[in-house]
Amino acid sequence: MPTVGFGVFQIPEEQTQQAVEAALEAGYRSIDTASAYENERAVGRAIAVSGIPREDLFVTTKLWVADYGRDSAKRAFDRSLDRLGLDHLDLYLLHQPFGDYFGAWRALEELHRNGRIRAIGVSNFYPDRLADFLVHHEVVPAVNQIETHVFFQRTEDEKWMREYGVQHESWGPLAEGGQGFFENPVLVEIGRAHGKSVAQVALRWLIQRGIVVIPKSVRPERMAENIDVFDFQLTDDEMARIATLDTGRTHIFDHHDPAAVKWLSGARFNT
């Protein structure tokens, strides 16, 4: 699994093919989508016209809550695979820790055993949900994709994932530009010291923690910038300075908010 992938969350379907084509041209080989993003078909078209051998790509998509349960999960998987135009997935994730995710996981385990998915994992699982999940299953999720950025650093989550051998993957690694992210004085100063942008510093900080990142952009110059993060190293002091930015809470979506949980559990998409 590449350390830096390309995410397509909130990219409209009509813009997704062009964005993914540009990302592949920039050197990305990992593409992250989801049935709930409603742009899997566009991702598939971009892959088809790219000419890049399938074995060189790492494709992730996700199962939505409305399709949880053993039988419905298998049907949803087939729909996603058809939309992507692929014969297998590299990584398939349970998108949210609500509903019958135990039944859905049994379906994913079966698909994994049959070779239709190379790896299976989860998304948005907090430590308590992840611990409960692991206690009741033999197959450990390969990945837990959670909101992680300089303002919500998830160090406690990371500790538990490392203990269980689950790879930490960050969605929203640039904090979706919120909380004055691009003007943050600590990130700006460290960026100047290395001749790098705020985004590159934030991504490098995550990578040095061993976290996989999937930044999103529709601008080719930003795509190129976000993947150009392997020619510099943050010092221990710089890592520690960035660690002081942690607020310990989400700035994007609160999975502990009952109203948010109710919305997620009832959301339906044209998938």
pLDDT digits (tens, 9 = 90+) for 68-84: 999 999 999 999 999 99
Measured distance CA(129)–CA(254) in Å, rounded: 15
Chain centroid to CA 218: 17
- Average pLDDT for 222-231: 97
Task: Retrieve residue 123's tokens.
Answer: 């998304």
Q: What architecture is domain 6-266?
A: Alpha-Beta Barrel (3.20)
pLDDT at residue 264, as a whole number: 83
- Kindly list the domain boundaries of the chain, sorted by start residue: 6-266
pLDDT at residue 261, as a whole number: 87
The yes-or-no verdict on residue 91 having pLDDT over 60 is yes
- Average pLDDT for 254-270: 85
- Average pLDDT for 39-60: 97
pLDDT at residue 271, as a whole number: 55
| pTM score | 0.95
Mean pLDDT across the chain, nearest whole number? 95
The yes-or-no verdict on residue 163 having pLDDT over 70 is yes
DSSP state of 55: G
Find the helix or strand (DSSP H, E) in which 194 lies. helix 185-194
Measured distance CA(59)–CA(220) in Å, rounded: 20
**E-assigned strands of the chain?**
6-7, 30-32, 58-63, 89-94, 117-123, 143-147, 167-171, 212-213
The yes-or-no verdict on residue 200 having pLDDT over 60 is yes
- The catalytic position among 37, 68, 92, 101 is 37
**37 is annotated as an active-site residue:** yes
Between the CA of residue 93 and those of 34, 173, 218, what are the distances in Å? 9, 18, 24
- DSSP helix/strand/coil, 184: coil
